[in-house]
Amino acid sequence: MPNELYDVTIIGGGPIGLFSAFYSGLRSMKTKIIDAEPAVGGKVRYFFPEKIIRDIGGIPAITGANLVANLKEQAETFHPTIVCNERVVDVTKLTDGTFQLTSHNGAIHFSKTIVIATGSGTFEVNKLEALHAENFPLAIHYDVKNLEQFRGKVVAVSGGGNSAIDWAQTLEPIAKQVHLIYRGEDFKAHEESVRELKNSRVQIHIHHEISELIGTNNTLASINICCNQTQITKTIETEALFINHGVKVDLGTMAEWGFEQADFGIVVDDEMNTTVPGIFACGDSATYPRKIRIIAAGLHEGPIAINSAKKYLEPTAANEAMISTHHESFIG
């Protein structure tokens, strides 16, 4: 029913939104997820389906695709309503305290509380800017859904953050040769990942940027990379490029919903309250002192936001869900 009232509506169906939906089910809350993308999973589904994720406790290694599949299955335990292909563009608090959410297509949703779990908002990758890049669209990759297509090939990764280093290390045992091209010197990544990178077969080119793509018949053969300190150009054989130059993020109309915001998201307190009563934020949407931007941290923040939403609706409710691993299992 289009005008059905929900206890909580989670804006964003990425890993944090999905786990929050599961936890809200534990709290017996009628739950809806609204996501702007065609399917749930967020940036992990879009950019990292075959990337190995290692920063979740108890899971030594899992692909992004499998992580999303597991989280979706878990989220569906309590049968939340999941709406995709809708971007929420307006939120209005009605006189009775109910929130009216309006999507870009005119759809209307009603909810008693809202949890924002949109990550950094909608995203658009920063495209490669180099001579003749437009001639080789099939050779330039901003995400990877089939690693096997690069087996035995010479590939290059451009970037200096965690994503670029992760892709270089993921491709290293598959490709014939991996080049990592970074315009800086100090990688913006976890120290251990950098150490492993430097001890791998990956050929590292610091202080370099891709300046030109070379090939025939839309088939990439090599690239020119230019040192930004000496201006000397060198050519390296390359059959495929992986570009990790970050993304343009946009909170869209959320910036107009009355929140206090900082450089890295919506300001929340230690209970994930925003400055708008009844609206909470978690994951990369939220910011507070000493914030850690990893999936595991967001999986902790989601339940806090849900617990706060529960207390907002029912002030006498328990502070948290009593689950099988809780200390009450040991109370005799």
Give the span between the Cα atoms of 237 and 38, in whole angstroms: 37
- Which secondary-structure segment (H or E) carries 203? strand 203-206
Residue 332 has a pLDDT of 39
Helices (H), the chain: 15-26, 42-47, 64-75, 162-171, 191-198, 295-313
Indicate the angle between helix axes 15-26 and 64-75, nearest 10 degrees.
20
Cβ atoms 60, 240 nearer than 8 A: no
Residue 123, annotated as binding a ligand: yes
Residue 48, annotated as binding a ligand: yes
Residue 55, annotated as binding a ligand: no
Indicate the angle between helix axes 15-26 and 295-313, nearest 10 degrees.
40
Mention every residue, 6+ apart, whose C-beta is less than 8 A from residue 74: 18, 19, 22
Residue 88, annotated as binding a ligand: yes
Residue 132 has a pLDDT of 95
3-class DSSP state of 139: helix
Residue 129 has a pLDDT of 92
Minimal CA–CA distance to 23: which of 321, 329, 325? Answer: 321
Q: What share of the chain is helix, strand, coil (3-state, %, to 5)?
A: 30, 30, 40
Tens digit of pLDDT at every position of the chain (332 positions)? 557 999 999 999 999 999 999 999 999 999 999 999 899 988 788 777 777 888 888 899 898 889 999 999 999 999 999 999 999 999 999 999 999 999 999 999 999 999 999 986 656 678 999 999 999 999 999 877 788 899 999 999 999 998 899 889 989 999 999 999 999 999 988 898 899 999 999 999 999 999 999 999 889 999 999 999 999 999 999 999 999 987 665 666 777 788 888 766 889 999 999 999 999 999 988 989 999 888 999 999 999 999 999 999 999 998 887 665 554 444 43
Cβ atoms 14, 119 nearer than 8 A: yes
- DSSP per-residue letters across 93-129: E-TTS-EEEEETTS-EEEEEEEEE--TTSEEEEPPP-
Give the span between the Cα atoms of 42 and 119, in whole angstroms: 8
Residue 230, annotated as binding a ligand: no
